Amino acid sequence: MARSISYVTGAQLVSLKRRPNIAIIDVRDDERSYDGHIAGSLHYASGNFYEKISNLVQDCKGKDTLVFHCVLSQVRGPSCARKFANYLEEVKEDTGIKDILILERGFSGWESSGRPVCHCTSVPCKGETGSA
């Protein structure tokens, strides 16, 4: 059974982010280092996404909802979300991941609606910057 991938809006993501069992996956490439990022998001660049995919599964242990995004979530975000869904089907491992989502309008939409952007350089991002 193919997994369905749906879209969430920035507003929906804000409320989803309050739950502990969600992971946000940023698949932008170099842009992450100079444009900032959504606090708490993991970085898995689309350029070598497939090579790192088993690390991502490890990173998402205990999460049941994954939200992928790139700059606009038009090309890289959806394609990585699809690769990830296909991978889960191939390995048939019980990861506990139930929902694979894509952030509508991507990081660009997130930032332009005035939502908080984290500029830390920690890997992984430690989360909220404190200024809400």
- Catalytic annotation, residues: 70
Binding to Zn ion (CB under 5 A) within 42-61 occurs at: none
Nearest approach in angstroms of CB 21 to Zn ion is 20
Nearest approach in angstroms of CB 63 to Zn ion is 18
CA distance 128 to 39: 5
AA identity, residue 115:
R
CA angle 88, 81, 20 (to 5 degrees): 80
118 binds Zn ion (CB under 5 A): yes
CA distance 114 to 95: 34
Stretch that binds Zn ion, among 15-23, 62-70, 81-89, 116-124 (CB under 5 A): 116-124
125 binds Zn ion (CB under 5 A): yes
Shorter beta-carbon distance to Zn ion: residue 14 or 120: 120
Local structure of 87: helix, strand or coil: helix
Shorter beta-carbon distance to Zn ion: residue 4 or 131: 131
Shorter beta-carbon distance to Zn ion: residue 36 or 109: 36
Nearest approach in angstroms of CB 46 to Zn ion is 19
CA distance 128 to 132: 8
Instruction: State the sign of the Cα–Cα–Cα–Cα dihedral 113, 119, 125, 127.
Output: negative
* Residues binding Zn ion (CB under 5 A): 118, 120, 125
